[in-house]
Amino acid sequence: MVDLRVYAALGGLLREQCVITAADDPSLGHRDTRTVKTTGYQLLEAVAGSGKGGDHWKRLRRSLIRLADVRISVRTVEADPDLAAQQIREGYISLLGDIWLASTQLDLSTPQQWGQLRGSTSLKVEIGYWTAQQIVSGQATWLDLDLLRSLGPGLPARVWAALEGWARWPQRSFDGCEETAIGLGRPALESLGVGNYPRPYDARRALDRAGARIIAADPAYERVQCEKRAGWCLVVRRRVGARARGELRKAHATEAKRSAVRTAVQQSFAEAAG
């Protein structure tokens, strides 16, 4: 999950950066165009909601190293409208390219010190060519990092991220919601992060617990629960449309902040009265 959070944060930074830089290089062919320029402090803030160093920074560095070693298999199918033929291409691509840390050159040792630099870049991460194109063109699943952090590092976050990227949602809707039933065969169990449970019953119980956590944290989801239909399925019901889900989440986050302020004010008055 740390790697997922780090890559999601890098993708968001790349998209923001390319609003300006990609105008001169729309194909992202130049390495500099698809290289994220940031600081360790800022990346930690996006990933963990905190710019603290120490163990957090060590985990971030290990995550970047793991991501740089990842190669994924890509298969694209392009139909020729004039011929009854398809061009199928398969290849292996890297998620990240070069990673440069400026700790030696600048003689700085903590993310806090890097974050205080003005007009300087202490961390440069090259995004792979193919994945950078998908991110900038919007062919990607965008994750709400605040919501992802609120789900914690375990199974609820893994299941939620998988559901956000799930491709088999029906086109029809029910009262503004869409529903899908994910068959709990071995591939789905592996994708959802419960493939290592020795008994299917234990895997379903874990998914039910994760589903309850998702519903409590994300107002866009109404149901995430295992049910027996033709076979065992994970039944998921959520609001239709990314914009509608985003508005619900924004309203929920705003209300949570207001509630926290009210609680702090009430506590302050209680302490003053006592």
Using the predicted structure, report yes or no on whether residue 215 has a pLDDT greater than 50.
yes
What was the pLDDT predicted at 12? 84
**What band does 211 get if pLDDT is binned at 50, 70 and 90?**
very high
The pLDDT value given to residue 273: 64
Query: Residue 38 in 3-state DSSP?
Result: strand
pLDDT of 172 higher than 80: no
Query: How many residues in total does the chain contain?
Result: 274
Per-residue confidence band for 207, with pLDDT thresholds at 50, 70 and 90: very high
* Lowest mean pLDDT across 159-163, 208-212, 238-242: 238-242
In 3-state terms, what secondary structure has residue 52? coil
d(CA 121, CA 32) in angstroms, rounded, equals 13
Taking residues 131-136, report their average pLDDT: 82
* Residue % of the chain over a pLDDT of 70: 79
Classify residue 128 by its DSSP letter.
P
| Tens of pLDDT, residues 175-193 | 788 888 888 888 888 888 8
Q: How far is C-alpha 235 from the geometric centre of its chain's CA atoms?
A: 22
Radius of gyration for the alpha carbons in the chain, expressed in angstroms and rounded: 22
Render pLDDT for 223-264 as a digit per residue (tens, 0 to 9).
999 998 888 999 999 988 777 888 888 887 777 666 665 666
Asked whether the predicted pLDDT for residue 28 surpasses 70, the reply is yes
Domains of the chain, residue spans: 2-138, 149-242
pLDDT at residue 131, rounded to an integer: 84
What pLDDT is recorded for position 212?
93
Banded model confidence at residue 119, pLDDT cuts 50, 70, 90: very low
Give me the chain's average pLDDT, please. 79
Rounded Cα distance, 67 and 4, in Å: 9
Model pLDDT, residue 20: 64
Strands 35-38 vs 232-239: parallel, antiparallel or unpaired: unpaired
Separation of alpha carbons 236 and 226, rounded Å:
9
Q: Which residue has the tokens 């050159």?
A: 105
Start-to-end Cα distance in the chain: 45
Least confident stretch, 40-44, 59-63, 79-83, 266-270: 266-270
pLDDT at 116: 58
Compute the distance between CA of residue 215 and CA of residue 130 in angstroms, rounded to an integer.
Answer: 34
C-alpha distances (whole Å) from 266 to each of 252, 259, 263 are: 21, 10, 5
Whether residue 267 is predicted with pLDDT greater than 80 in this model: the reply is no
